[in-house]
Amino acid sequence: MKKRILGKSGLEVSELGLGCMGLTFGYGPATNEADAIALIQKAYELGITFFDTAEAYSQGLNEQFLGKAVKSFRNNVVIATKFGFKEGDATKGVDSSLERIRAVAEASLKHLNTDVIDLFYQHRVDPNVPMEDVAGTVKDLIKEGKVKHFGMSEAGVDSIRKAHAVLPVTALQSEYSMFWREPEKEIIPLLEELGIGFVPFSPLGKGFLTGAITADTKFDEKDFRNMVPRFSEENRKANQVLVDLLKTIGVENKATPAQIALSWLLGQKPWMAPIPGTTKIHRLEENVGSVNIILSSNELSKINAALETIKVSGERYPAAMQKMVGK
């Protein structure tokens, strides 16, 4: 698999990464440890060298699975993890107090069984802690050799500028896909201006762009999509028009809807590295196959023109979660 550099940072990652969240958090029961490790190691065999986790994904369990999986090839991969929630629990609100940042760094190093965190993201902006102080604390961790690069997640323009003035931000991780194109308005132009890489999460629209989800799909009771307005039965039905577009383009390119969705993302900017997640080996292999599908500039233009005619129905987050993004 080809490599990409995240912005001007010099941090080299595989053009497609692996989002590990779903292995233990968010989409139903946790995957057992052996299967999680097998999937991560298979991703590495397929060329993925960029792995994303967080304290908030099961308070360290996700990090532990990742640490065990990459132990034998740790020096060949980039590990990203995150701080920023009270007690590592997203339901308890944000906490980027300086003591908390340091405590999470120490815990993550232990859980990951590593000497250094390659990319340390602030998971969500904390309005109670000056961004300059957050960036300054991570800067100290870098000086101490515990962290290599600083990242932000779902941050807004002002926060990114403030942080970047103190410590160059290597990457922003935010949701971006055909299903959520909001970053195109302000965020992507800012990242280009400042030389910051972009790591789109949910590049397959939380699974919707695979074509496997219909109006009749029933989610596990622990699946957070049950709370997401965009995934109501009515909105899933309305949004099938987007999947239909992907299927049409897929037929023309001998590719699946998921592969077209990822190829479209990879074609946006050379400093983007999407991190689709999955718990299934066959889906992992399908996702990796997207790097071999190169959409021409003409095809990308046709797709973008078609996207302009499609209005996606439903908010991407419940109101309480929406308050924590774009700050």
- Digit-coded pLDDT (tens) for 236-274: 998 999 999 999 999 999 999 999 999 999 999 999 999
Q: What pLDDT is stored for residue 29 in this prediction?
A: 85
Give pLDDT, residue 26: 84
* pTM to 2 decimal places: 0.95
Q: What is the pLDDT of residue 326?
A: 65
**pLDDT on residue 195:** 98
- In the chain, which stretches have pLDDT less than 50? none
* Secondary structure class of 274 (helix, strand, coil): coil
Tell me, what's the pLDDT at 40? 98
Q: What share of the chain is helix, strand, coil (3-state, %, to 5)?
A: 45, 15, 40
Q: What is the set of domains in the chain, with CATH numbers?
A: 3-322 (3.20.20.100)
Identify residue 123 by its one-letter amino acid code. Answer: H
Q: Where are the alpha helices (DSSP H) in the chain?
A: 33-45, 61-69, 98-112, 131-143, 157-166, 187-194, 233-238, 240-253, 257-266, 281-288, 297-308, 319-322
Determine the Cα–Cα distance for residues 13 and 276; give it in Å rounded to an integer: 14
pLDDT digits (tens, 9 = 90+) for 158-171: 999 999 999 999 99
Question: Residue 324 has what pLDDT?
Answer: 65
Would you name the residues annotated as active-site residues? 57
Residues whose CB falls within 8 Å of the CB of residue 197, separated by 6 or more in sequence, listed in order: 4, 5, 6, 7, 9, 11, 170, 171, 172, 191, 271, 272, 273
pLDDT of residue 114: 98
Question: Would you call 125 helix, strand, or coil by DSSP?
Answer: coil
Counts for the chain of helices (H) and strands (E), in that order: 12, 9
